[in-house]
Amino acid sequence: MYIDDFIKITLNPKAVDELTIEMLGLLSHMRLGDVWSNYLKGDFLAFVIDSCNSKIKNEDIVLEGLGLVANFCASKKTCSVVVNSAILSMLPDLLEEK
């Protein structure tokens, strides 16, 4: 699979928002179960957390980021990573603002 390449493109700070949105959309539809835990480290996890921030101006990035988080929660192993991150504490603010 090309997951590593998709993640690199997603994390590229020079990428335009539209490309980031497409990459997040592709990743959010990849049902990898426990395999996601191999990728939920460092910069990628930080990016996913940041993409769920209600302060982000591009709502499509927020939407795709939430879709990716939902995909992570389909597996107990990756769901535990989400639970132990800052994402859950951000959701009430996100729901209120959006």
pLDDT in tens, 24-43: 999 999 999 888 988 988 89
Cα dihedral 55, 50, 21, 18 sign: positive
Scanning 1-98, the segments in alpha helix (DSSP H) are: 3-11, 17-28, 42-51, 59-72, 76-83, 87-97
pLDDT (0 to 100) of residue 27: 94
Confidence category of residue 1, pLDDT binned at 50, 70, 90 = low
Cα separations in angstroms, 73 against 14, 32, 51, 76: 29, 11, 16, 7
Q: What range does the domain containing 15 cover?
A: 3-97
Structure tokens at 64: 């795709």
Residue tagged 């639970």 (tokens): 83
For the chain, the domain total comes to: 1
Q: What is the pTM of this model?
A: 0.85
